[in-house]
């Protein structure tokens, strides 16, 4: 029998909270325990967001544990009607269980940061001990978990209560985190932001070791917060504040009542730029589509004002980054069903959020600028200066790379801009998909290079023989960089595109083409990977057509793969959409998508999913050894052994 056998007994089924303990990095950040504490804090914040809580108190205990207390409604303690287990126990021990799924009228939470019912169960799974005290319906109740989620003290009534609320005390398990302690300054920033976004809610932090108690209660809301964070920097014009939400009955823009945003923006001529955004009180440190919506709204309003008053010099073209370059902002969006990138929720991916925030912010800024024309002209001067500086820098780059450039491939559909910080080229599989991409692209900064068939496996191809292959020759000439090795110092000044995006079908053949192109870049253009210029575009494999229901109009939802399709169907069922009423279409290839679909799902910078290619946990040498095993012509035996050992992981790491 083989030493590493693969049979029926090799398959292990993880139950309960085991998946979290086995792969904690899939559910939370593991550099320190702050995010697992934030999950508890988010639940308390959701009570405040729903107008049921007016205080959130956090204690850093000397033994390393953290307590979060709110005066909300208290987690229900009765038996779940189906599971016949206390609800508070289910919330802390079951993945995908919580009160955030019920979005229908009368649900516990209409707007919340919690979406998947994963948050506090992850906190429990990664803690040595977790104790929950609930005050509700005149009684005090307590339940205790230990050893990563085991109930060691079942729920019991411990006394009477006059108020209501929830207290969670967690002891994060150090073995799951790089650093065992919650970083104090990051926690302070997080709590302060909660106080800013929850007008009228008092947030406190008690540090037992030093005896320090900090209170936050912001009466000036976002403006006071931004003013404090800018540290006295004087804005060029008064702060632009706005708040707008969809009223009951909707606006006909496919948004639900209550959706919208609140923001404050300041333009400064010097000093640091401050940009913070939130979705349903969840901090989105990596931004996302709500920030893109604010960017579009501000750009549209300023551009309209500049054109109306003829303030744009001849030959100058405004771009969104000219308006945004010196803009600081705090943005708080309310989205009914936000789609985040990953469980840590650092980036919002909801496509509708672009239009939601853009449509809310643009009219208000247009009105403000035209009501304060002098301030509008001062802002226009700043924006025009930014545009002129950008164009001047672009001209310098063009002169530097303009001489001796090879003739560009005839099938390359180039873009108009020469600003490498903006330009991107899509290496597209096939002429059919290339046609859709050409029609759907933004010709200002997006270029298309169709590839015919599968690219040559270049892992063992000598550099001086690369150009014998037409496809590789065209790629090298189009991007403006010569092939090189990992130890070389190539001239990257001729680089024509800041982003080189591999765009192939979302099927097995498409994945093969993707791997062949990644092999080419790793072996013969490694400095482009090192510099962060290579990306993989992720087109959807499925489209789900959802009929109109209640306040929701007809929707088209896109899913990357079968896993995401299953999650989408599960979500629709929980929303109350009738099972089987939606239609599922599978894209056989990119060529089946029309230009509008390809733009919306794969090429629009505001809504696409673009993965940067980097060396990751392995160093260059380790990655090279892995590539040699996978792509080398004489490595069939080693590949077979690897597949027998890791065949069930093949999907995880391309």
Long-range contacts of residues 238-247, Cβ cutoff 8 Å, at least 24 apart: 238/372, 238/375, 239/264, 239/265, 239/266, 240/264, 240/265, 240/266, 240/365, 240/368, 241/265, 242/360, 242/361, 242/364, 242/365, 244/360, 244/361, 244/364, 245/334, 245/360
Backbone angles phi, psi at 20, to 5 degrees: -70, -45
Cα gap 297→359, rounded to integer Å:
7
Q: Are strands 150-160 and 260-267 parallel, antiparallel or unpaired?
A: unpaired
Q: Find the Cα–Cα–Cα–Cα dihedral 287, 290, 296, 297, rounded to 10°.
A: -130
- Look up tokens 């001729």; give the residue: 494
CA-to-CA dists, residue 327 to 189, 313, 319, 520, 538, angstroms: 21, 22, 14, 40, 31
Strand order in the sheet with 424-429: 446-451, 424-429, 499-503, 534-537, 610-612
- 509 is a catalytic site residue: yes
Q: Which of 322, 352, 419, 429 is catalytic?
A: 429
- 429 is a catalytic site residue: yes
Cα gap 374→358, rounded to integer Å:
24
What six digits make up the tokens of 592? 């089946």
What six digits make up the tokens of 289? 């589509």
Q: Which of 31, 491, 507, 545 is catalytic?
A: 507
What six digits make up the tokens of 583? 């239609």
Q: Which of 208, 212, 460, 509 is catalytic?
A: 509
- Spell out the residues 6+ positions from residue 179 whose beta carbon is closer than 8 angstroms to its own: 31, 32
Q: Report the run of H or E that residue 597 belongs to, with start and end.
A: helix 595-598
Cα gap 564→200, rounded to integer Å:
39
Q: Which of 39, 47, 474, 505 is catalytic?
A: 505
List residues with catalytic annotation. 429, 505, 507, 509
């Amino acid at each position: 029998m083989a030493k590493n056998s693969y049979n029926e007994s090799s398959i292990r089924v993880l139950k309960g909270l085991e998946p979290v303990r086995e792969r904690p990095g899939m559910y939370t950040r593991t550099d320190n325990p702050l995010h697992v504490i934030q999950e508890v804090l988010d639940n308390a914040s959701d009570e405040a967001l729903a107008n049921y809580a007016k205080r959130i108190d956090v204690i850093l205990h000397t033994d390393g544990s953290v307590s979060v207390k709110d005066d909300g409604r208290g987690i229900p303690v009765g038996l779940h009607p189906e599971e016949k287990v206390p609800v508070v126990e289910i919330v802390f021990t079951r993945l995908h269980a919580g009160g955030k799924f019920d979005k229908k009228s009368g649900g516990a939470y209409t707007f919340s940061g919690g979406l998947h019912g994963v948050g506090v169960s992850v906190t429990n799974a990664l803690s040595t001990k977790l104790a929950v005290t609930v005050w509700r319906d005149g009684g005090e109740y307590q339940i205790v978990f230990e050893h990563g989620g085991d109930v060691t003290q079942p729920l019991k009534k411990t006394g009477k209560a006059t108020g209501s609320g929830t207290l969670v005390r967690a002891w994060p398990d150090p073995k799951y985190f790089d650093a065992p302690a919650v970083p104090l300054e990051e926690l302070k920033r997080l709590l302060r932001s909660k106080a800013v976004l929850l007008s009228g809610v008092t947030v406190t932090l008690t540090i037992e070791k030093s005896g320090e108690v900090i209170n936050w209660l912001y009466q000036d809301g976002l403006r006071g917060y931004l003013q404090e964070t800018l540290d006295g920097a004087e804005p060029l014009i008064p702060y632009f504040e706005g708040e707008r939400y969809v009223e009951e009955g909707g606006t006909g823009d496919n948004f639900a009542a209550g959706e919208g945003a609140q923001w404050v923006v300041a333009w400064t001529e010097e000093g640091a730029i401050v940009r913070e955004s939130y979705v349903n009180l969840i901090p989105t440190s990596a931004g996302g589509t709500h920030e893109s919506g604010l960017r579009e709204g501000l750009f549209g309003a300023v551009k309209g004002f500049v054109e109306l008053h003829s303030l744009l010099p001849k030959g100058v073209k405004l771009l969104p980054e000219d308006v945004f370059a010196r803009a600081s902002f705090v943005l708080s969006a309310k989205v009914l069903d936000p789609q985040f990138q990953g469980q840590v929720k650092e980036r919002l991916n909801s496509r509708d959020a672009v239009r939601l925030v853009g449509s809310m912010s643009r009219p208000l800024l247009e009105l403000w600028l035209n009501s304060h024309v002098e301030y509008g002209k001062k802002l226009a001067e700043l924006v025009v200066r930014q545009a002129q500086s950008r164009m001047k820098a672009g001209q310098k780059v063009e002169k530097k790379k303009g001489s001796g450039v090879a003739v560009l491939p005839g099938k390359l559909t180039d873009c108009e801009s020469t600003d490498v910080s903006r330009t991107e080229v899509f290496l597209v599989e096939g002429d059919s998909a290339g046609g859709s991409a050409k029609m759907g692209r933004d010709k200002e900064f997006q270029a298309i290079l169709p590839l015919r068939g599968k690219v040559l496996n270049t892992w063992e191809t000598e550099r001086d023989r690369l150009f014998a292959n037409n496809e590789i020759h065209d790629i090298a000439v189009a991007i403006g960089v010569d092939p090189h090795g990992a130890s070389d110092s190539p001239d990257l000044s001729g680089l024509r595109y800041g982003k080189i995006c591999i765009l192939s079908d979302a099927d097995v053949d498409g994945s093969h083409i993707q791997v062949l192109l990644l092999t080419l870049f790793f072996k013969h253009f490694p400095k482009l990977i090192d510099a962060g210029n290579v990306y993989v575009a992720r087109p959807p494999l499925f489209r789900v057509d959802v009929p109109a229901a209640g306040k929701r109009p007809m929707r088209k939802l896109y899913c990357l793969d079968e896993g995401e399709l299953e999650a989408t169907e599960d979500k629709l069922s929980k929303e109350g959409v009738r099972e089987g009423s939606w239609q599922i279409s599978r894209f056989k290839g990119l060529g089946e998508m029309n230009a509008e679909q390809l733009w919306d799902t794969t090429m629009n910078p505001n809504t696409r999913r673009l993965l940067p290619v980097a060396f990751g946990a392995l160093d260059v040498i380790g990655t090279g050894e892995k590539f040699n095993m996978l792509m080398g012509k004489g490595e069939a035996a080693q590949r077979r052994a690897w597949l027998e050992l890791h065949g069930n992981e093949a999907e995880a790491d391309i």
